[in-house]
Structure 1
């Protein structure tokens, strides 16, 4: 790599430029250190040396070891050597591009060491700001402007280049378009093209033929005479994803050097071009490999007490055998691939549920709307519905829901993070059905709280349940029972904008109980639940003060409020006055003194917090911008309380009970009475538990996941207002996945995230979750490892448990249908996965056939499920080298 630096650099030199330990501003690399910061500095040095030598390098560290940060280290070194260098990053989809943008901001602000930071100055932010372009045409046009130096696009941009009119010769057309965009970019950049190309999740290029993407990619990246870039850095945690020749095929897109090697000579290719280290999580007592805490389980479901369902599936399997036999005799010979049959995930789609996402070509293979048995399954489902007037239950659904909802959310038995579950499926219908059932299970428990607080008789409860927790029935049942203040509620409703969820938060899938707390645009706009919610969030209600932070961030109380003219009436404003009191020594307007200083829930709970939580709040306060951090955290906490957690139900029940008591006529007296009445309840409340959990992970969530500065006190956390349901889904047809990623990484909703392959790679879902369910089994062991890697990552929940408790357990669950082909395919997958996992770790040659061997003996298959075991330390297969060429 032509540059001003030495051809060979060392981790010591890297650590002089960047700090990989954000908790220690004085960190420096020490030879022989085993910390992740040391590994990352070694990785940057090793990659730089590989690129300097042969212009191609692969970083194949195990999933969850910070490959993105190491790649950014290379970028900063290159820009130090050549400030005008142009860099292109390709990631699978827009979600991952957004993640790169956030991580780049964090890395340049927190990890780059420079007296004058070229990347955070006004000029540097403009020059090096990531430019995300979703299409190759847009990328080429942006490069032609020559205004920026850091471009991001998606791997999917290589797909879909061919218009419908040219589909007859699609592969040649894709190749032509790829070449055209390469030429356009090279003409703008000059002979060398991009100074550096980084391919994130490079295993997407493990196939050299057979698709428009492969044809377009070969032409776009160019050949030896006309490469798109001068240097290429590849990133993947599963380089030998499914075949020994995967690595050779990936390399051959970007360089002719691999042609000197045999296609299956994995060892030589990795030794000469790659770095591969195994992840070790630091715990309270030493470090831990993944096999020390991973616990695989197979949860069985069957037809006990489900005669009609058993008959349905018996008929389905019988007709499936007939169908497959016909295909075999006719020469079709369709192979049965893992997870390929729809009948073992769902009982057929009852609505049009095509996946229109189109932003991951892998879904063509991985997320099926239609399978060989789809028409058979839909026909039988319609016949079943004609007879029973309902759809057949799938036994696996209930088993999965039981595993994901193990206790009442209002009980104190489990830590909040134990309610987080990540579920992977292969079928679009499954993702929706599971979401609906998860929310229905939560609704039963949340509805019970509401029915109990109103002392509804059994017949009323049953009426409401049979209505599907109808909004209208709930209002009817409460008719005459509410004892609120009509005038106050009326003017709050008049002023309030509708806050119903976004369009994709579909009513038929979402929580019906959560909907009661939403103000609607049309129809029955409000309920008693929504009115109480307004009381605790509208600044003109004194009860909104209850969810404000303490005046001083610890236990401070408030002494005044505002009174403002509004038309012909005067209205009090409490929330605005509280905000001003935190920021100003004197109020913006004439303040009206309270007769007695008023506390908030925050202040009442502060002294009851665990010591680490108190220390964290004080640590924030001690910073120069401390109150801005407190304000940002308070906005996050309040939004989570009111919109994305069962805390709102807890608060509603408290307020409903309180309203039954004799009420004071003056609002301040009522607030004081409420505070006095509720204070004893706070100590063991959900509100306090969420307070503690939110403090624990706020910094990482805010800075690393959301991409906001810790002191962004104007940030509203609006994305949490649409996370009303305990369960939600992400597939190619769901929009705004970013809010789901943020919510799942918080202690707030969603507790259960159901996903297709769109969240299988490159996404961080690890801050709270340590439980993964493979409802639909993965295509290959490499895919399986990518899924697990969403939560099995450094600095997440598992890592925290190891540090605090000295031990952890990552639950990996495989639901299956007993006595069926579903059991056979899972047994085969588990056995073969076990046999190749260690080869995947060490990048040894291995072949995994996605076709199921129907003749295989699968007896005693559960012994191949991984159980936690202490193993001898393994050497890194291909460590970083920085002391020689």
Structure 2
């Protein structure tokens, strides 16, 4: 067997193929390659491993790299990817085509959605991607009646007995099914699995739910009155039969594997039954192998034990590891208590000795130093002999080594003071009274409603229903309803909602996006409403820089009734930028001679000839009534551009590289339909039956030829990469986006023009048009041009479907803020938020916590509603802390840039307990899985504990990375621990 090396791996796998395009540093590609190599070495000796890299470090591509090596070793291998649900199933399915630059799996990777489809496809295709939710089907009476009838067939139950059982099943509304005619999962005939029926209906020596026959033998027909037990038994039969119909799988990849932590859940039971002894090797992907307690790992490893050829003592190995972990946690807590209470001078002495003269610690006489030295020695021994080797045997975890330097965690303490404290005080008394009366309140959940928003409190079941409660509590409920009703119709703001709104708006003013997480639907909606209203007020302030003292009715449209609209300054100016009869129409349009050719200067020198030719072209056109009667700058521009292109081509002024674009300008339909040759809304009135009654003058021609320094001239190279139809659509929609009411571009433009001495009351078209090239270079205009460029770069990386969703979504609507809504596509929200343009704020619920990349242009996450689970907190942050993120790109040029994580906490409420609890749990998730200890980060007292010695922090950190120290683990560690288990037919080693 050859030792696996990076050079060997690169012979068939190129993980760095997209590195430059996706802004992935070389060191991360090297790390991913090392991870693939180490995983392959570990899988030689083990049935499964956990890929536990921190969120956003490329676990998906590492798993695909291992799958590529599996395929490289055996071209006929079968690979199955199990995803958490339909959304991530789509994401994984799309990753295989993207991965083609690194390794080509061909076209055989197929997604499925149902269990029947899964069993069929896994027989015929080498790579199948399936959601774990497919196991949750089968609740229908048809599926269950079939399985019950199948039991009768196998048990040979007929006549009265079978009828009596059916009478007890689901109210007796269903008849037996002829299993010789009907098919299992509507696909598989009885003859394909008849020999497996005993395993399906009898538990035997296996664990888990009882089989139907176990129930019948224990309690006879009365057993079938226990609906829950019968349904579990039917599911068991379904899963067992499914597994028996499947071929052997060479590599099983399970994404977000922490979701299988609950041994009693249907999905966990399904994974155990269906895949029992039906796979050789497995990879579990999760950034959070345990969430609330380390014992959750036991369930992960129990699934490893289901692999074909798994060692019989696997679970006892795991039990030994978990016992050691419990001991380690207890000793660590004792050490933390000792250290936190240590006199600073004594702590400083220990630090000096540990870092510089560790041997001297054996001779210290100070009792407190002796205690610390003993505790440290015990921790180091346990870590070195049990914890680190125990975890390394099964897990690979790479850390963001610098995340503590660039992640800025900010706990923002909010005080509910004055009148704002009144609702919280009443709420506390109300809940306390219910609790005193021994009424079930789900106290924590109810309190979370109140600290989330007043809307969430009002909609909580305890206030929104008229459930009978003790009279003492009813008085508080009536008062609370009255107070919250007054707040809804009055000026009183919820303290946390007010903070989140103001914080996100301040960030938006700086050009920063914010990702806000909420767990209450009512809060999502309230935040969206208040953000939109408050942003409009801020937009008004920008307009007041131009028109001092203006109010909202001066700037924005108002309606006196349904049919009558009073137009404001914004609307009037906006229409001028899109009305072809106004020269401002040209301000945001593309001058094709500047972007497609280098002949605009040549054209200006030959202006008289071009004007003559342009008028000749104009004379042959037939326009709509308005365009024929009044100068239409859109038509004039096209006539001049076509004239210049025609004369330039004749004079040899067009280079061969420019010929294709010039041919588009020379197309017979160009003057009427534009570059995309589509008769759409943009061509209104450009085609008709009227002869033009105006002519193109020299001045008009000079204006429409454009000048260097236009918005689109800067983007010429990017625009040239787009097909003509898409090119035109992008430019037109971006031009309209810039003039939307909620986009402050026009206000910034006028303020800049006013500062330059240009009249803005009224706005004179030619003067503002003349100013535009200077604006794009100004302090106010440069950010707008940069955002458009960043948008185009991102847009070009998207596939056609994603590009369509972007143009038809945020660019068309111009929504300043978005929030998750039932039925809305997660992918559409992702594409909307990942552009540098609107929306600036995404208010998300738990649906957006996992499996989505939202990192392209956001580096701020706000936990408006905190959760108890630290893994969920990390998953939230991981949406924006990923390889190629905005933070990492900015830090290349400025090492002070941070990724900001905000925790708004209302003082004296459940928020404080939530924060303490989740941070304490986070400590173990972080420390046991590789992070160095950090007492100050998880201290909740006013006095910060002394810093640990730097060397001790490093000594106690558990190293689970693909490298160990400076050693690349190819075969050395593996060979030292190899078990001599014969008969493994899926050895992934080099041959």
How does the TM-score come out when normalised to structure 1? Answer: 0.70
Residue 16 (structure 1) aligns with: 11
SS at match of 1:44: helix
* C-alpha deviation, 1:40, in angstroms: 0.8
Residue correspondence of structure 1 range 750-761 to structure 2 within 5 A: 750-761=839-850
From 778, 781, 804, give the equivalent of 2:893.
Answer: 804
From 92, 104, 112, give the equivalent of 2:96.
Answer: 104
CA RMSD in angstroms comes to 5.1
- Larger mean CA deviation between 559-568 and 249-258 belongs to 559-568
Q: Distance in 1 between matches of 2:782 and 2:129?
A: 42
Q: Distance in 1 between matches of 2:468 and 2:794?
A: 45
User: Is the Cα contact below 8 Å between 1:67 and 1:235 reproduced in 2?
Assistant: yes
Q: Is 2:970 aligned against 1:882? A: yes
Residue 237 (structure 1) aligns with: 287
Q: Distance in 1 between matches of 2:90 and 2:522?
A: 28
Residue 336 (structure 2) aligns with: none
User: Is the Cα contact below 8 Å between 2:31 and 2:962 reproduced in 1?
Assistant: no
Residue 702 (structure 2) aligns with: 596
Residue correspondence of structure 1 range 475-874 to structure 2 within 5 A: 478=566, 528=572, 531-532=575-576, 534-535=578-579, 543=586, 546-547=589-590, 551-552=594-595, 565=622, 583-586=660-663, 587-589=666-668, 595-596=701-702, 598=704, 603-605=709-711, 627-628=721-722, 639-640=733-734, 642-643=736-737, 649-651=744-746, 674-684=768-778, 688-696=782-790, 699=793, 702-703=796-797, 706-707=798-799, 717-730=807-820, 733-830=822-919, 832-833=920-921, 835-842=923-930, 859-860=941-942
Residue 410 (structure 2) aligns with: 297
Residue 246 (structure 1) aligns with: 296
CA displacement, residues 324-373 of structure 1 (integer Å, 9 cap, x when unaligned): 2333xx7x696747x9731111224489799xxxxxxxxxxxxxx99x99
* C-alpha deviation, 1:261, in angstroms: 1.8
Q: Is 2:498 aligned against 1:398? A: yes
Residue correspondence of structure 1 range 186-265 to structure 2 within 5 A: 187=245, 189-190=246-247, 192=248, 194-209=249-264, 211-221=265-275, 223-224=276-277, 227=278, 229-256=279-306, 257=310, 258-263=314-319, 265=321
CA displacement, residues 403-459 of structure 1 (integer Å, 9 cap, x when unaligned): 2111673xxxx4x3xx21111122222222122222222111224455776778559
CA displacement, residues 694-715 of structure 1 (integer Å, 9 cap, x when unaligned): 5347556653xx4459xx9999
Q: Distance in 1 between matches of 2:513 and 2:771?
A: 32
* C-alpha deviation, 1:177, in angstroms: 4.0
Residue 277 (structure 1) aligns with: 398
SS at match of 2:409: strand
Q: Distance in 2 between matches of 1:565 and 1:7?
A: 77
From 67, 83, 88, give the equivalent of 2:59.
Answer: 67
Residue 382 (structure 1) aligns with: 481
C-alpha distance 101-697 of structure 1, shift in aligned 2 (>3 A): farther
Residue 157 (structure 1) aligns with: 134
Q: Distance in 1 between matches of 2:562 and 2:778?
A: 29
Q: Distance in 2 between matches of 1:699 and 1:875?
A: 40
Count of paired positions: 734
Q: Distance in 1 between matches of 2:526 and 2:640?
A: 44
Residue correspondence of structure 1 range 39-118 to structure 2 within 5 A: 39-109=31-101, 111-112=102-103
Q: Which has the higher contact order (CA 8 A, sep 6+)?
A: 1
Q: Distance in 1 between matches of 2:444 and 2:669?
A: 76
* C-alpha deviation, 1:316, in angstroms: 0.6
CA displacement, residues 193-212 of structure 1 (integer Å, 9 cap, x when unaligned): x3332111111111211x33
Residue 485 (structure 1) aligns with: none
Residue 443 (structure 1) aligns with: 536
* C-alpha deviation, 1:783, in angstroms: 1.8
C-alpha distance 751-261 of structure 1, shift in aligned 2 (>3 A): same
User: Is the Cα contact below 8 Å between 2:868 and 2:917 reproduced in 1?
Assistant: no
Residue 35 (structure 1) aligns with: 27
Residue 180 (structure 1) aligns with: 238
* C-alpha deviation, 1:757, in angstroms: 1.5
User: Is the Cα contact below 8 Å between 1:59 and 1:274 reproduced in 2?
Assistant: yes
* C-alpha deviation, 1:743, in angstroms: 2.4
Q: Could you say which structure has the larger radius of gyration?
A: 2
Q: Distance in 2 between matches of 1:545 and 1:54?
A: 62
* C-alpha deviation, 1:629, in angstroms: 8.2
User: Is the Cα contact below 8 Å between 2:589 and 2:731 reproduced in 1?
Assistant: no
SS at match of 1:18: coil
User: Is the Cα contact below 8 Å between 1:79 and 1:85 reproduced in 2?
Assistant: yes
Q: Is 2:437 aligned against 1:326? A: yes
SS at match of 2:82: strand
CA displacement, residues 664-716 of structure 1 (integer Å, 9 cap, x when unaligned): 9xxxxx6x66521433333236654133245347556653xx4459xx99997
* C-alpha deviation, 1:292, in angstroms: 1.2
Residue correspondence of structure 1 range 130-169 to structure 2 within 5 A: 130-133=110-113, 135-140=114-119, 142-143=121-122, 146=124, 148-159=125-136, 161-163=138-140, 169=227
C-alpha distance 806-387 of structure 1, shift in aligned 2 (>3 A): closer
User: Is the Cα contact below 8 Å between 1:89 and 1:151 reproduced in 2?
Assistant: yes
C-alpha distance 169-301 of structure 1, shift in aligned 2 (>3 A): same
User: Is the Cα contact below 8 Å between 2:855 and 2:886 reproduced in 1?
Assistant: yes
Q: Distance in 2 between matches of 1:108 and 1:453?
A: 53
Q: Is 2:427 aligned against 1:316? A: yes
Q: Distance in 2 between matches of 1:66 and 1:100?
A: 13
* C-alpha deviation, 1:235, in angstroms: 0.6
- Larger mean CA deviation between 73-82 and 41-50 belongs to 73-82
Residue 195 (structure 2) aligns with: none
Q: Distance in 2 between matches of 1:321 and 1:159?
A: 40
CA displacement, residues 92-137 of structure 1 (integer Å, 9 cap, x when unaligned): 233323332333222213x33xxxxx55xxxx34x33x4252x434
CA displacement, residues 501-534 of structure 1 (integer Å, 9 cap, x when unaligned): xxxxxxxxxxxxxxx9xxxxxxxxxx65774575
Residue 350 (structure 2) aligns with: none
- Larger mean CA deviation between 856-865 and 344-353 belongs to 856-865
Unaligned runs of 5+ residues in structure 2 are 142-168, 172-225, 323-386, 604-609, 646-657, 672-695, 964-968, 976-991
C-alpha distance 52-726 of structure 1, shift in aligned 2 (>3 A): same
Q: Distance in 2 between matches of 1:423 and 1:843?
A: 26
C-alpha distance 638-87 of structure 1, shift in aligned 2 (>3 A): farther
SS at match of 2:710: helix
Residue 360 (structure 2) aligns with: none
From 517, 541, 548, give the equivalent of 1:424.
Answer: 517
* C-alpha deviation, 1:53, in angstroms: 3.2
* C-alpha deviation, 1:379, in angstroms: 6.2
C-alpha distance 791-175 of structure 1, shift in aligned 2 (>3 A): farther
* C-alpha deviation, 1:829, in angstroms: 3.7
Higher helix share: 2
Residue 450 (structure 2) aligns with: 343
* C-alpha deviation, 1:291, in angstroms: 0.8
* C-alpha deviation, 1:318, in angstroms: 1.0
Q: Distance in 1 between matches of 2:16 and 2:99?
A: 11
Unaligned runs of 5+ residues in structure 1 are 1-5, 113-117, 281-288, 355-368, 483-515, 517-526, 665-669, 847-855
